[in-house]
Structures are given as structure tokens and as C-alpha cells.
């Protein structure tokens, strides 16, 4: 298994920022739905004290234009592609999956900004599994009572991997007016505040399934990427940090290697699952204070 | 696409209620007037978009009003402090105009000192909420200044190539009088380089990202 550094879906446009996409091991597209979507009304973005809210609403050109116009351009990037597939019913996901080739598919089962499909995550995965031999990753919401149960169900339905986690619903009120900052009031909460939630989801799903896990949620530096791997992630995706720092992939990659080496590990992936085992290596206080990056040290 | 660079603060001056943050330019290009930069706001998750106000061989200057958490953090920067800056980003003003007239409102005058220099000091009409806000007009040569309740549109004459930046109602009013005006719009954005889709506006029926296809749009139905 190879550890990949990816972008979180919807956090990078590979066509407007190809250099950033090429600094990743694979590029994950913005979610594609069957029909074109103009997205939600502005205001769509609001910063909070420890993260940000977005209410984009799956703006995308729709499946037909994506396949005809966007995908051929994305292929020119020369990096492996992951296509994020969305829909409002299981058959909509499955129909898009059936038309894709030579990509990894990430099923967006958890956008907090649009209505959900009536079927369960596992039912959607099963419908897609029936139409495609491509690798299927299920992107799950952490806002469920037991994410491990969902993970087991999508594994049984034929998923090849998990993407953990999507954003969670959050609200921010304007300092001066006490009115919601976003036009739709509630949006998807991401950024540093999401990290402990992502860690908990990855930790639970690592114990519950055998699947590879792409960990994501508030990673700002390499040390935090290492924590996701220790909790059970086999790959890491960058989301909100890409908005703040398009150079973050190279930085996080470097810091991740350095952070692993502090623990005597040659390869960061050797840290996978360490949070689940009693572990002999303990950093000395001087290393902890000088080498472990601080919050927002970017 | 440009990459982020670390810049050190040279000065952070008060101009009326505004701040003029001047940083050492380093290797960063100033770009075209109307383009913008993403400024790291210390302690905040997201950077803040700012159009370039002043460019000298050694410095870049940004004018802003400290009204939110990000701009207050920027206002607290002291000489010697460092911050990351990404830019120049987006599309600026077209400078191939015959009779330029700058029309600005409030903090919308921010790109005008640099724009005015590029256009050889054209006439400008600047509107402000109060006399104190109007202190920023000193940064723009050849400016006629109006203070509320007088509106910039009351002074607007026909026959000019209008380049405007200001609050949305002002831009809408300018567009009615000068349909071919180049208008610099503003929208909340997380990234500034086309990644987040936060700053999308409807322009002639097509969704456009202000950070990529703007912030300056001509004839835009933003």
C-alpha cells in the first residue's frame, strides 16, 4: 500500500490551479451530479474562529458536460484522477459511475448543503458496485450515531475504501447583526475544528473494517497528517488548508516525513494504526516543543 | 499561478478610519491595478482578499477598514511582523481607455492610487460616509470628494470611460449611468484562486468566480 496525499473534493480546481493539483499524488474532482447545478445563493463562505463554513451547494456543470468537457482536460494534468460522484437517488450515482473509466470513484454520500438521497449509504454503494469495476471510495459524514456501523455496511456492499470525513453542519452569526453569515444560514463546517472529529471517525472505522481509509478534516500540517495515519488512515487529503495555502501539499508532505522520522519511522505509513497499540516511542519534551508544529504554523 | 511569499511589515498607518498596511515587496509582482492579493490574517483560518493600493519599487501597500476579525488582526500588525501574501490574483482593470474616470465609494477607493498612477492621474470622483472616511481621498490625485448624503453619481458626466470600485448599490447606480463601465466587485472568498467557489456571481446568466474572472467585470450582471 502506498500513502497518497490528495485534495478533499471541492477544495481545489485542477484546471485553474494545475500546479497545485500536480503537487498531489492524485486529484479529486469537485462533486459531479447528473444535472447541472448553479449552486446556492451567496453568501456561501464564512470564517469561524476555528474553521470555516461553506454553502456552495454542489455547483457543477452536470454529468454530460463534465464527461465531455471537464474530464478530458483533467486527464491532461497527468496525475491520477478521483472523481467525486453525487446524486439525489442511488440510481443517479450508479448511472454516473457506469460512464466513468480509468479513475477512482469517490461517492459523496454526505454533502451537508443539499437534500440527501432516500437510500442508505450502503444501498447507494451496492447500486454503484453493480455498474462499475472501478475502485469505489465511500465518503461518509461524521454526523451519524455510529460511523463504524456505516463503514461496515458500505464495506459489505462492495466499497473498496473510505473517505473520512465530510464537513458537518454548522452556523455562524454575524458579529454586528446576529444574523446568519451564510444566505442559507447553515453550511458545512471544516477546518481545524474538524480534526478531532475526523480522528475519531478514522479511529472507529479502522477498528471496524479492513478498508483503506483516506483521512481528512482540518489537517493543517504534517504532524496532523501523521495523527490521522496513526488513528488508521492510509492516505490523507487536504481541504481547508488549501484555501489558505496553495503550497500546503509540498509543505505537509515534508513535515509528515519529518514527523514520522521523529518517531523513528522511515515511512509515514508505518505509523498506521499506532494509536491503537501500546507504543514504545515517546518524544522527549525538547523534541515536542521544537519539532512538533504549532496550530496554524504555516 | 503565483505562490505565497512571506513579507515583512514596513508600516501600518492610520488614514481616517482606514489602515494602510505597507509591506516589503520582495520578489512579488504588483500585477495590474484591480488585481488582488490574499493576505494572511494572523491567528485566523482564512486569508483576506485585498486589492493593491500602492506599489513602489520596494513596497506593496494595502488599504482596508478594520471592521471584522481578519481586518482587525491585520490592523494589529506592527513593523517587522511577517505575513504570507499570495498574488497578484484575478483580472484587473483594462488600461486601454481614452477618457478614464475613476469612481469610488468608501474602501472601494483602495485600488485607485495604483490605478491612477498607471493611467497618468485621471480625474476621480470619490464618495465617503463621513469627513473622517474622506481622509483616504488624499491618496488619489485629481479627486473630487463627496460625502453622504451626496452621491458620486450626482457628479457623473457622460463621455468618460468609467472605472469603478465600491459598494454594490454604488456600482449598480454607476452601471445605469455608464453601461460600459468597468466595475470591480467584491464577494466573500476563502481562497482567491478558484478553488472554493465561494465568490461566484451571476454574470450575463453564467456563474463566474470573481477571483478568477473578476474582480473587475465589464457590463456584468453581478
- Cα separation, B23 vs B76, in Å, equals 14
pLDDT averaged over every residue in chain B = 94
**Residue A30 with chain B: CB contacts under 8 Å:** 197
Q: B92: pLDDT confidence band, cut at 50, 70 and 90? A: very high
With 80 as the cut, is the pLDDT of residue A198 above it?
yes
**Residue B46 with chain A: CB contacts under 8 Å:** 47, 52, 240, 243-244
- Cα separation, A167 vs A197, in Å, equals 10
Average pLDDT over residues B141-163: 94
Average pLDDT over residues A5-26: 98
User: B38, B39, B45, B185: which to substitute to probe chain A, counting the most A Cβ within 10 Å?
Assistant: B45
User: B193, B198, B211: which to substitute to probe chain A, counting the most A Cβ within 10 Å?
Assistant: B198
Average pLDDT over residues A104-123: 84
If you count residue pairs, one on A and one on B, with CB atoms under 8 Å apart, how many are there? 102
With 70 as the cut, is the pLDDT of residue B222 above it?
no
- Cα separation, B30 vs B21, in Å, equals 15
Per the rule left: phi > 0, alpha: psi between -120 and 50, beta: everything else, B16 is left
Whether the link from the prior residue into B149 is cis, omega within 30° of 0, is yes
- pLDDT recorded at residue B110: 97
Closest residue on chain A to B205 (Cα): A38
Q: Show which residues on chain B lie within 8 Å of chain A, measured between beta carbons.
A: 1, 3-4, 40, 43-47, 68-70, 84, 86, 187-191, 193-202, 207, 209, 212
Tell me, yes or no, if A38 comes closer than 8 A to chain B by beta carbon.
Answer: yes
Q: A294: pLDDT confidence band, cut at 50, 70 and 90? A: low
With 90 as the cut, is the pLDDT of residue A141 above it?
yes
Grid cell 447507494 — which residue? A124
Closest residue on chain A to B40 (Cα): A244
**Residue B70 with chain A: CB contacts under 8 Å:** 47
Instruction: Give the CA distances from residue B179 to residues B126, B161, B162, B220, in Å, rounded to whole numbers and listed in that order.
Output: 19, 10, 9, 9
Task: Check CB contact under 8 Å for B196 and A51.
Answer: no
Listed in sequence order, the residues at least 6 apart from A210 whose beta carbon sits closer than 8 Å to its beta carbon are A155
Average pLDDT over residues A255-276: 94
| Count of CB atoms situated within 10 Å of the CB of B130 | 11
- Cα separation, B109 vs B127, in Å, equals 9
Which among B3, B190, B200 has the least Cβ separation from residue A59? B200
Task: Check CB contact under 8 Å for B191 and A175.
Answer: no
Which among A46, A48, A242 has the least Cβ separation from residue B195? A242
- pLDDT recorded at residue A291: 66
pLDDT (tens digit, 9 = 90+) per residue, A20-49? 999 999 999 999 999 999 999 999 999 999
- pLDDT recorded at residue B3: 83
Closest residue on chain A to B68 (Cα): A175
pLDDT > 70 in chain B, percent: 98
Per the rule left: phi > 0, alpha: psi between -120 and 50, beta: everything else, A235 is beta
C-alpha closest to that of B66 among B81, B44, B86, B33 = B44
Average pLDDT over residues B201-214: 88
Tell me, yes or no, if A154 comes closer than 8 A to chain B by beta carbon.
Answer: no
- Cα separation, B51 vs B68, in Å, equals 17
Rg over alpha carbons for chain B, rounded to the nearest Å, is: 16
What values do phi and psi take at B167, rounded to 5? -65, 155
- pLDDT recorded at residue A72: 98
C-alpha closest to that of B63 among B17, B108, B131, B110 = B110
Closest residue on chain B to A12 (Cα): B195
End-to-end CA distance of chain A: 29
Average pLDDT over residues B13-21: 97
**Segments in A178-296 forming alpha helices (H):** 195-208, 222-231, 240-244, 248-262, 285-291
Burial class (CB in 10 A: 0-12, 13-18, 19+), B176: exposed
- Cα separation, A218 vs A73, in Å, equals 29
Average pLDDT over residues A236-260: 97
With 60 as the cut, is the pLDDT of residue B220 above it?
no
With 60 as the cut, is the pLDDT of residue A297 above it?
no
With 80 as the cut, is the pLDDT of residue A146 above it?
yes
**Residue B44 with chain A: CB contacts under 8 Å:** 47
User: A37, A183, A246: which to substitute to probe chain B, counting the most B Cβ within 10 Å?
Assistant: A246
Which among B1, B46, B198 has the least Cβ separation from residue A244? B46
**Residue B212 with chain A: CB contacts under 8 Å:** 16
Tell me, yes or no, if A39 comes closer than 8 A to chain B by beta carbon.
Answer: yes
Tell me, yes or no, if A58 comes closer than 8 A to chain B by beta carbon.
Answer: no
Burial class (CB in 10 A: 0-12, 13-18, 19+), A288: exposed
- Considering Cα of A134, then A213, then B193, then A176, what sign does the dihedral take? positive
Positions of A annotated as catalytic residues are 111
**Residue A52 with chain B: CB contacts under 8 Å:** 45-46, 190
More confident residue, A2 or B17: B17
Q: How far is A158 from chain B (nearest CA, A)?
A: 31
Poorest-pLDDT segment among A149-153, A157-161, A268-272, A278-282: A278-282
b/e map A2-40, b = 16+ CB within 10 Å: ebbbbbbbbbbbbebbbebbebbebbbbbbbbbeebebb
With 80 as the cut, is the pLDDT of residue B111 above it?
yes
Average pLDDT over residues A128-153: 96
Average pLDDT over residues B12-24: 98
Task: Check CB contact under 8 Å for B207 and A47.
Answer: no
What values do phi and psi take at A60, rounded to 5? -165, 160
Task: Check CB contact under 8 Å for B3 and A298.
Answer: no
- pLDDT recorded at residue A113: 66
Average pLDDT over residues A225-237: 98
C-alpha closest to that of B195 among A44, A257, A154, A282 = A44
Q: B221: pLDDT confidence band, cut at 50, 70 and 90? A: very low
- pLDDT recorded at residue A298: 43
- Cα separation, A102 vs A92, in Å, equals 20
| Count of CB atoms situated within 10 Å of the CB of A279 | 11
Cell readout for B107 is 474602501
pLDDT averaged over every residue in chain A = 93
Q: How far is B155 from chain A (nearest CA, A)?
A: 32
Tell me, yes or no, if A295 comes closer than 8 A to chain B by beta carbon.
Answer: no
What values do phi and psi take at A41, rounded to 5? -70, 155
| Complex ipTM | 0.94
User: B38, B67, B195, B214: which to substitute to probe chain A, counting the most A Cβ within 10 Å?
Assistant: B195
Task: Check CB contact under 8 Å for B194 and A46.
Answer: no
Q: How far is B120 from chain A (nearest CA, A)?
A: 33
Amino acid at each position: 500500500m502506498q500513502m497518497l496525499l490528495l485534495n478533499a473534493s471541492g477544495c481545489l480546481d485542477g484546471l485553474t490551479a494545475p500546479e497545485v493539483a500536480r503537487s498531489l499524488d492524485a486529484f479529486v474532482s469537485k462533486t459531479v451530479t447528473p444535472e447541472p447545478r448553479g449552486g446556492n445563493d451567496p453568501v456561501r463562505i464564512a470564517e469561524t474562529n476555528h474553521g470555516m463554513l461553506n454553502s456552495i451547494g454542489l455547483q457543477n456543470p452536470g454529468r454530460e458536460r463534465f464527461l465531455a468537457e471537464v474530464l478530458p482536460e483533467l486527464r491532461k494534468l497527468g496525475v491520477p484522477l478521483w472523481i467525486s460522484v453525487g446524486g439525489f437517488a442511488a440510481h443517479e450515482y450508479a448511472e454516473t459511475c457506469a460512464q466513468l473509466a480509468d479513475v477512482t470513484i469517490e461517492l459523496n454520500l454526505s454533502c451537508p448543503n443539499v437534500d440527501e438521497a432516500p437510500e442508505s449509504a450502503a444501498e447507494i454503494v451496492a447500486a454503484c458496485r453493480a455498474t462499475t469495476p472501478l475502485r469505489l471510495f465511500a465518503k461518509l459524514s461524521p454526523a451519524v450515531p455510529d460511523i463504524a456501523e456505516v463503514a461496515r455496511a458500505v464495506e459489505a456492499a462492495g466499497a473498496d475504501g473510505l473517505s473520512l470525513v465530510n464537513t458537518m453542519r454548522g452556523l455562524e452569526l454575524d458579529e454586528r447583526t446576529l444574523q446568519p453569515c451564510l444566505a442559507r444560514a447553515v453550511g458545512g463546517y471544516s477546518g481545524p475544528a474538524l480534526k478531532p472529529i475526523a480522528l475519531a471517525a478514522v479511529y472507529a472505522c479502522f477498528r471496524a473494517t479492513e478498508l483503506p481509509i483516506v483521512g481528512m478534516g482540518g489537517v493543517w500540517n504534517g504532524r496532523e497528517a501523521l495523527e490521522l495515519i496513526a488513528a488508521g488512515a492510509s492516505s490523507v487529503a487536504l481541504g481547508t488548508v488549501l484555501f489558505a495555502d496553495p503550497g500546503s501539499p509540498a509543505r505537509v508532505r515534508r513535515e509528515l516525513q519529518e514527523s514520522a522520522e521523529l518517531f523513528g519511522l522511515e515511512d509515514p505509513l508505518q505509523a498506521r494504526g499506532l494509536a491503537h497499540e501500546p507504543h514504545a516511542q515517546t518524544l522527549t519534551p525538547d523534541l515536542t516543543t521544537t519539532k512538533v508544529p504549532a496550530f496554524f504554523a504555516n | 499561478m503565483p505562490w505565497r511569499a512571506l513579507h515583512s511589515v514596513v508600516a501600518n498607518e492610520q488614514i481616517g478610519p482606514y489602515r494602510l498596511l505597507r509591506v516589503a515587496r520582495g520578489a512579488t509582482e504588483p500585477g495590474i491595478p484591480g488585481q488582488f492579493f490574499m493576505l494572511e490574517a494572523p491567528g485566523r483560518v482564512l486569508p483576506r482578499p485585498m486589492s493593491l493600493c500602492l506599489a513602489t519599487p520596494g513596497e506593496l501597500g494595502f488599504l482596508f477598514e478594520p471592521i471584522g476579525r481578519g481586518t482587525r488582526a491585520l490592523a494589529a500588525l506592527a513593523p517587522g511582523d511577517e505575513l504570507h501574501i499570495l498574488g497578484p490574483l484575478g483580472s484587473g482593470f483594462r488600461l486601454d481607455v481614452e477618457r478614464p474616470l475613476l469612481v469610488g465609494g468608501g474602501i472601494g477607493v483602495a485600488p485607485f492610487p495604483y490605478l491612477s498612477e498607471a493611467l497618468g492621474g485621471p480625474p476621480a470622483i470619490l464618495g465617503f460616509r463621513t469627513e473622517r472616511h474622506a481622509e483616504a481621498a488624499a491618496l488619489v490625485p485629481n479627486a473630487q470628494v463627496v460625502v453622504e448624503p451626496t452621491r458620486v453619481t450626482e457628479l457623473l458626466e457622460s463621455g468618460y470611460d468609467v472605472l469603478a470600485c465600491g459598494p454594490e448599490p454604488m456600482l449598480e447606480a454607476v452601471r445605469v449611468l455608464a453601461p460600459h463601465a468597468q466595475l470591480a466587485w467584491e464577494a466573500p472568498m476563502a481562497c482567491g484562486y478558484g478553488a472554493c467557489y465561494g465568490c461566484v456571481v451571476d454574470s450575463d446568466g453564467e456563474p463566474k468566480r470573481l477571483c478568477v474572472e473578476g474582480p473587475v467585470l465589464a457590463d456584468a450582471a453581478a
